[in-house]
Amino acid sequence: MKILTAEQMRIIDRLSTEQYGVPSLLLMENAGLNLYLELARCFKDLERLKIVVICGKGNNGGDGMVLARHLLQRAVTPDVVLLADADQVGGDARIQLEILQKSNWPIKEITSQEDWQPVAARLQCYDIVVDALLGTGLTKSLEGFYRQVAEDINRSGAFVLAVDIPSGMPSDSAVAGSPCVHADVTVTFTAPKIAHILNQDQESIGELVVVPIGSPPQLLDDPGLYLTLMEEAEVAQYRLPRKIASHKGDFGHVVLLAGSRGKSGAALLSARAALKTGAGLVTAAVPDAVQGIVAGGQPEIMTEGLASTEEGTVAEAALDQALSLLKGKDAAGLGPGLSRHSQSVWFIRQLVGKCPVPLVVDADGLNAFADRPDLIRNDDDQPLVITPHPGEFSRLCGGTTREILADGPSAARQFAKERKLWVVLKGFRTVVATPDGRVYVCPRGNQGMATGGTGDVLTGVLTSLLGYCSAQKLVNPDQVTKTVVFGVYLHSLAGDLASAAKGPEALTAGDIVEHLGDAYRKLGGSL
């Protein structure tokens, strides 16, 4: 499913009419009907409930008027409030207003804050408030009269249905903080918009429902619409099958280069995740100072002790040993818990440039390039996947963390294209950007995953899956993209299942590892 900007949505609406002959009035009619159907889904006794539909003067208000008419046709009697003079309503919304007027149903016109006060005083008497005030065309923050209306709706205690987007939320923004209506359900049309998926104020959107209204689906096939929402049914198809007659070599031998004194847990978490994701063999290559700790942490994990510094971090002298270890292996993960020791930084930079297998780089593997981001790029045939959080990514691409949070998909896309690698930008909506300019957004994940070690688990998951691809001789750009998307979704789904079982407050990275099998089963298969 594509994710659109407000302008892209306007173009699709226009082309639906100009190229395919779908009347814009029909699009509005379908939008209003779907709003009614959503209310009917949420409430089985609409005729017994008190409903107010608050309409603006634009197309959003027109959608609300269609909804009001469908309610009236089904013996539901909503109050209809128009926050404008009727003469200000134009276009298709004007036609819908006139249809409603000819039914002799009263429409209360409100043109000032003073006129609004009696309505505001009664809002708490309604069971349902429909926010059909402002749509996706908003370009500035709510202020004055409209802001007061939004605040009064939020204080009403009623169930709020937002039409297209909660009034006041900028549709192209991922940044929370704009005053807006707080909806219980938001019904949007044709495709989700950027704010629906990426805005950090998800509480104001509530449950998101996306409905078709008649725009030809081929309009969404435009390659210029590069932002895609991962959908579970499609992601499940990216899972590579495992033949019954198999041996451990078929599923890949992967190496996790991780850990240091005080951070041996990072190596264990990533290695355990690789095992639980299905790798046939897992070797944890760790500083020899912590090898005993890691070796005792999971009997199925093989270990390799790398030359270490006095501080218990990987030393420069370990490079040749690591490169020798990687020969004949299928994939590697680099970075969790490796530290920022100067010798470790040198080791990491050298290994990234010389790694002979598909490589996932995370955490300290990325921090090693903070002052030399020009060095992290992929100039050979082996896939390179980096998994930064916004702070790490800001150091790599030269922006600020705030800028990354504001427009992470664009920044990740540009970096992936320029450096010929895959970027997994972690966050409450993790983004996957590919070397060919595609961007995928994961709708799963939860606040319980904001805890130490979850990134280490993701490194193990991705390394394991890439190792399977490599063992099956399936390392090509399209398959790598599918594998990374599948891995990100699997990791987030396991996190959601763990949160459901444990609660977000008690969730740990180890819980995510233990729910990877459940996530596989939910995606239609098991290991």
DSSP lists the bridge partners of residue 257 as 285, 334
Token pair of 290 as six digits: 């912590």
Residue 339, pLDDT score:
96
Residue 525, pLDDT score:
64
Helix 144-155 / helix 113-122 crossing angle, nearest 10 deg = 10
Q: How long, in residues, is the chain?
A: 527
Residue 398, pLDDT score:
87
Phi, psi of 193 (to 5 degrees): -100, 170
Residue 137, pLDDT score:
84
Strand pairing report for 281-287 and 302-306: parallel
Contact 258, 387 (CB under 8 A): no
Provide long-range contacts, Cβ within 8 A and 24+ apart, for 43-47.
Answer: 43/128, 43/159, 46/71, 46/74, 46/76, 47/74, 47/75, 47/76
Rounded distance between C-alpha atoms, residue 129 and residue 131, angstroms: 6
Residue 368, pLDDT score:
97
Burial of 37 (0-12, 13-18, 19+ CB in 10 A): middle
Put the strands of the sheet holding 159-163 in their side by side order. 107-109, 79-82, 51-55, 128-132, 159-163, 185-189, 207-211
Assigned fold of 234-239+248-522:
UDP-N-acetylmuramoyl-L-alanine:D-glutamate ligase (3.40.1190)
State the DSSP string of 453-485: THHHHHHHHHHHHHHHHHHTT--SHHHHHHHHH
Q: Mind listing the pLDDT tens digit of every residue in the chain (527 residues)?
A: 999 999 999 999 999 999 999 999 999 999 999 999 999 999 999 999 999 999 999 999 999 999 999 999 999 999 999 999 999 999 999 999 999 999 889 999 999 999 999 999 999 999 999 999 999 888 788 888 999 999 999 999 999 999 999 999 999 988 888 899 999 999 999 999 999 999 999 999 999 999 999 999 999 999 999 999 999 999 999 999 999 999 999 999 999 999 999 999 999 999 999 999 999 999 999 999 999 999 999 999 999 999 999 999 999 999 999 999 999 999 999 999 999 999 999 999 999 999 999 999 999 999 999 999 999 999 878 999 999 999 999 999 988 999 999 999 999 999 999 999 999 999 999 999 999 999 999 999 999 999 999 999 999 999 999 999 999 999 999 999 999 999 999 999 999 999 999 999 999 999 999 999 999 999 986 54
CATH C-level class of 6-222: alpha beta
Q: What is the residue extent of each domain of the chain?
A: 6-222, 234-239+248-522
Residue 527, pLDDT score:
47
* pTM of this structure: 0.95
Widest CA span in the chain? 86
- Residue 478's contacts (CB-CB under 8 Å, 6 or more residues apart) are none
Residue 141, pLDDT score:
83
Token pair of 369 as six digits: 């390039």
276 Ramachandran zone, left/alpha/beta (phi>0; psi -120 to 50): alpha
Burial string for 263-279 (b: 16+ CB within 10 Å, else e) reads bbbbbbbbbbbbbbbbb
Rounded distance between C-alpha atoms, residue 441 and residue 196, angstroms: 12
Coil vs helix vs strand at 9:
helix
Rounded distance between C-alpha atoms, residue 267 and residue 281, angstroms: 15
